[in-house]
Amino acid sequence: MSKTLIKMYYRMGIYSDADLETFVNAGYISEVEAKEIKKNIDA
């Protein structure tokens, strides 16, 4: 799973914050990248 797809699906509402945590735990993205994705949505 690429970071770009995760970010796009998060913005579309397909993935939630819980899904981002799952991706962090699976090693697809880092904790910093998950926070960056969340931050860009809130801005």
Per-domain residue ranges of the chain: 3-42
Residues in the chain: 43
Q: What is the value of pTM for the model shown? A: 0.83
The torsion region of residue 3 among left (phi > 0), alpha (psi -120 to 50) and beta comes to alpha
Residue of 29, 43, 21, 38 lying closest to 1 (CA atoms): 29
Cβ-Cβ contacts under 8 Å for 39 (sequence gap 6 or more): none
- The Cα 19–Cα 13 span in angstroms is 11
pLDDT of residue 16: 95
Cβ contacts of 7 within 8 Å, gap of 6 or more: 37, 40
Mean pLDDT, residues 28-36: 96
pLDDT digits (tens, 9 = 90+) for 9-30: 999 999 999 999 999 999 999 9
